[in-house]
A = this chain, B = another copy of it.
Amino acid sequence: MIVVGVSPQKDWGGTHYLETFKEYEYPGPVYPVNPKYEGEEIHGYKVFGSISSLPDDPPIDLGIVAVPAKVTPQIVEELGQKGVLFAHIFSSGYSELGEEGKQLEQQLLEEAKKNHIRILGPNCMGIYNPKHRIAFTHRLPLVSGPVAFISQSGGNVYRHAYAAFVKGYHFSKMVSLGNQIDLDLIDFLNYFRTDPETKVISMYVENIRRSGNEFVQLLKETTKEKPVIIWKGGKLEAGHSAVMSHTGSLAGDITLWKSMARQTGVILVNNFKELIEMIQTCLLYKIPNNLGTAIITGGGGPAVELTDECEAFGLKVPRITEKSQKMIKDFIPEVNSNLSNPFEFGANGGHENMIKVMKILDKEPHISSIIMTNRPEWYSSEKLNMEEVVKSLANTISQDSNKNLISIYSSFGVRKDTVDVINEFYSKTRENGIIVYDSAQAAAKSIHRLWSYGNYLKNRGNKIN
């Protein structure tokens, strides 16, 4: 690993990469380069005065370049001469600033081609590969997982890394693309398509640099194998101009992206929150057979709200069969309850009745999703064992019923004394295959999207689940 552009005085830019290699105990050689500080040590690594003076053995694959934009073509040339295969250009100040920067990109690309080196960026954070101890910032877990993330925004790789940590999923690799003058979205999509460590591919995309047909073809090949979730940034007028300034590119029309998604089975989402929810959904849930949803909650008003929200975002809340209704009436009185879906138990609720109802719902053919509302604070105040409660809920769904059990928990503020019990609830539900969404809307959007993906696969004759 070569890092060009480091300084003992600042802890960002190239120096920040040094710091992360140190923190993650990157096992290969790390060579900081800056003639000004030749011979000094930064974060325990000895600084070299030039690229040409670096040891030739072992050969180095990647150079991280964090010097002023104008100098980057020369550095790329030197890295190429040294036999380095890839240059990640961290520096910014290119096409995102206008014509002059565009010419600089052209120059950079020419040097790269001449010297047989491929470029990631410029204007990007680079890669996160937990298995190989490479990351772009501190305190990320060195745990590999099934999710790939390709992002045209460095800010979004940061956010995603931290959010995933909280939500409990991990990455095979993350890559921040920046201005994509050489290696681009399509190169990485193609890589992740066959990467055995990657089960779900997610992206933040502002634009594509190559022909739409090539992208569509590749997406079709990929979605057969694994779900591809795309969050398209720069959807409308001002969003376009924000993209222009961000990565110097033109954002495509969102209607084109929607039609592309329909053709290819891509799952389109609208924002960061939806991206995270969709990834969790793809990781934990089976593709539902149908849109039928059962709703179980404690009060009439909330039951109406959950039903409204599910229906507004594409799910159906059908009545259950007469037979099942009768079975439920056997043990729950009708007063203050609604026993045909949505299920609203009022004072007749309680954990045991809920379990009984869920076991009956598990046999309903027109239901694929069972949505319950939970209040972890209540389990705690009742001194129930959280692990047992969550397990007993999860166990109501049999292995072969192909149903997903979904939890909704929303709160309007945080209290110090309930943080632990809430976090325990999140982790126990996750362990038991249950996602906790913060609203019925969030659940409905994700489940509907998963169903649409399944529908696409079925129509193409592909196997699902």
Contact = CB atoms under 8 A, between A and B. Distances in A.
A299 interface: yes
Contact of A305 (B272, B317, B341, B426): B272
Nearest to A311: B236
Contact of A153 (B243, B304, B423, B439): B304
A204 B301 contact: yes
12 contacts: A97-B334, A153-B301, A155-B299, A234-B307, A234-B308, A236-B311, A238-B318, A242-B304, A270-B308, A270-B309, A413-B426, A416-B420
A163 B411 CA distance: 8
A300 B420 contact: no
A34 interface: no
A107 to B, nearest CB: 17
A319 B241 contact: yes
* Among A243, A245, A419, residue most surrounded by chain B Cβ atoms (within 10 Å): A245
A154 B316 contact: no
A238 B299 contact: no
Contact of A412 (B158, B167, B307, B410): B167
Interface in A184-243: 204, 206, 233-239, 241-243
Contacts of A270: 308-309, 312
A307 B242 contact: yes
A256 interface: no
Given A235-B312, A270-B309, 5 more contacts: A93-B335, A162-B412, A163-B412, A242-B342, A416-B416
Contact of A340 (B204, B245, B342, B422): B245
A347 B90 CA distance: 13
A339 B408 CA distance: 40
Contacts of A308: 233-236, 239, 270-271
* Among A233, A414, A419, residue most surrounded by chain B Cβ atoms (within 10 Å): A414
Interface of A: 12, 69, 92-93, 97, 151-156, 158-159, 162-163, 166-167, 204, 206, 233-239, 241-243, 245-247, 270-273, 276, 298-305, 307-312, 316-319, 334-336, 338, 340-342, 344, 347, 410, 412-416, 419-420, 422-423, 426, 439, 441
Given A312-B235, A318-B238, A338 B246 contact: yes
B305 A271 contact: yes
Contacts of A237: 311
Contacts of A276: 412
A129 to B, nearest CB: 20
B412 A304 contact: no
B307 A246 contact: no
A311 B12 contact: no
B302 A155 contact: yes
Complex A-B, nearest 8 residue pairs according to Cβ-Cβ distance, in ascending order = A153-B301, A155-B299, A246-B300, A166-B413, A238-B317, A156-B301, A245-B338, A155-B301
Contacts of A413: 166-167, 423, 426
Nearest to A338: B245
A152 B237 CA distance: 41
